[in-house]
Amino acid sequence: MPAGELYTVAPVRGATKSDTAESRTKQKEYQLIQVKNTWCCVENGREIPTTWKEDQVIVSQAKIGEAVTESGVSWTVKTPIYFCYKVTETQNLLDPTNMTLLYGHLSDPQEVHVYQKKIQKRFIVMDMTVEKLYGSKVRKYFEANNVNYKLLSLQTTEETKSMELVLTILEEIHKFGIERRTEPVIAIGGGVCLDIVGLAASLYRRRTPYIRVPTTLLSYVDASVGAKNGVNFCNCKNKLGSYTPPAATYLDRSFIQTIPRRQISNGLGEILKMALMKHMGLFELLESHGKYLLDTKFQSRNGLVSHGDAALTATRLAIQTMLEELAPNLWEDDLERLVDYGHVISPELEMKVLPALMHGEAVNIDMAFMTYVSYESGLITAEDKRRTIQCMRILELPVWHKDCTLPLIKKALDERFKHSGGKLRLPLPTGLGIAEIFNNVKEETIKRAFERWTKECQESST
């Protein structure tokens, strides 16, 4: 129904439809104004009463529409939803003299001053593996800053990513007790940990602020920078969730140095996604420096940041291009999203073979297949295809999997068609670093792509 068309009355004999609507429907729109803690409706176009002092008046961006018909009244509420969150690079986050973890989410210096006058209270959730590595440093940090804290260590994996774990977190938060707006929950871990804690925070008191501290490369460039959080349900990946961004995300690359090489490669899958979709320069950097990034685990030379730092450039470009796509569409009102590249078939594959494939690996297998779909559709050249697959191998990512069968692919595409408004909405590269959304990919093309993909990639992947 078009905006403003709240109610339609069938025309009476002898009258036009517009005449009838005008005579039988009365519409008004009101702005909302607060005076001494009370909100009032003032019809658009009318002056604010002179008895209301200017310094006591607050005008909201929300509006209320009213349509009066013979059947009754219909109200329409138009209200903007505003979120502001920070994604901040930092170093030595767990140094007790670094106040970022405690106050970095605050923008107003006066607000920081007020916070510092009282004992701070924080509830922290850490992945169990991360807690073994950094738990003592986290405890020392909060103790040195006289913070009343509770640290909950949990096993956060795709197998445990469930509402049961969310409820466990919520029960512990409830026991500990936090102030719903001034004491953010802190999540320290990989993407699964960040997703679970984000969902718990979005549910507790309907929305409690939380802070993300990613400790894997994948979560550093992907899970930590957007608004989504969620858990698996009915053997479906992230079937339950919400769009509630954190108050802040703090990016400290030093955490990445303790993760295994396979997890570095796993994160590179998401970085490559953004390169293939949006940034030729990032793709060329991965081509030329991929092995170096794997070998150095994204650590800067001698711990110093320089303008020629490949790790810094790669992560910044991945995050910038990701935010460019997410910020205008944070709640995914538009389902045609370039960032869905690699996420069409991979959820089905990942859940089927769990825990054999990591998320970025499943995403890359999806991207490898879709590279062949692009090639068979005439969107990219044979050289583009070769360079793409070669780059994936440089990054030590799988390009084929025996369980990614043609029936699984067709099932995943059918699901996407059903749940995307009767459209495929396939993000496909049209070159290196450029892409478009396509809805007209034919079944024969999918079959040809699968046959060529299997022929060219299977042998080298076994």
Average pLDDT for runs of 10 along the chain of length 462: 32 44 75 88 84 78 92 92 91 96 90 86 98 98 97 96 98 94 95 97 95 98 93 94 96 97 98 98 97 95 68 96 94 92 97 96 98 98 98 98 98 92 94 97 97 91 60
On whether the CB atoms of residues 377 and 385 are closer than 8 A, the answer is no
269 and 250 within one domain: no
139 and 56 within one domain: no
Indicate the residue among 221, 236, 259 that finishes a domain.
Answer: 259
Flag whether 208 is in a domain: yes
111 and 70 within one domain: no
- Altogether, the residues listed in the chain come to a count of 462
267 and 215 within one domain: no
Q: Say whether 442 is catalytic.
A: no
Flag whether 7 is in a domain: no
Q: How many domains does the chain divide into?
A: 3
* Alpha carbons 364 and 87: distance in angstroms, whole number: 25
Q: Which of 36, 117, 228, 237 is catalytic?
A: 228
317 and 250 within one domain: no
Indicate the residue among 78, 100, 127 that finishes a domain.
Answer: 78
* Alpha carbons 296 and 257: distance in angstroms, whole number: 8
215 and 94 within one domain: yes
360 and 239 within one domain: no
Could you tell me which of 235, 252, 219, 284 has the C-alpha nearest to residue 433?
284
303 and 440 within one domain: yes
272 and 385 within one domain: yes
Flag whether 391 is in a domain: yes
* Alpha carbons 94 and 373: distance in angstroms, whole number: 46
Q: Write down the pLDDT at residue 56.
A: 74
174 and 291 within one domain: no
Flag whether 1 is in a domain: no
Flag whether 396 is in a domain: yes
Peptide bond connecting 11 to the previous residue in cis, omega within 30 degrees of 0: no
Indicate the residue among 31, 51, 78 that finishes a domain.
Answer: 78
Q: Write down the pLDDT at residue 304.
A: 59
233-238: list long-range contacts, CB under 8 Å, 24+ apart.
233/162, 233/163, 235/351, 236/347, 236/351, 237/158, 237/347, 237/350, 237/351, 238/195, 238/347
Flag whether 3 is in a domain: no
Backbone angles phi, psi at 240, to 5 degrees: -110, 135
Q: Write down the pLDDT at residue 303.
A: 58
Give burial (CB, 10 Å; 0-12/13-18/19+) of 122: buried
* Alpha carbons 118 and 121: distance in angstroms, whole number: 9
Q: What is the CATH number of the domain that holds 220?
A: 3.40.50.1970
Give burial (CB, 10 Å; 0-12/13-18/19+) of 270: buried
Range of the domain at 302: 262-461
Q: What is the CATH number of the domain that holds 444?
A: 1.20.1090.10
- pTM value is 0.88
On whether the CB atoms of residues 265 and 290 are closer than 8 A, the answer is no
Could you tell me which of 371, 324, 323 has the C-alpha nearest to residue 345?
371
**Residue 156, token pair as written in the block:** 């956060």
128 and 105 within one domain: yes
233 and 193 within one domain: yes
**Residue 320, token pair as written in the block:** 């910038």
Flag whether 243 is in a domain: yes
Flag whether 436 is in a domain: yes
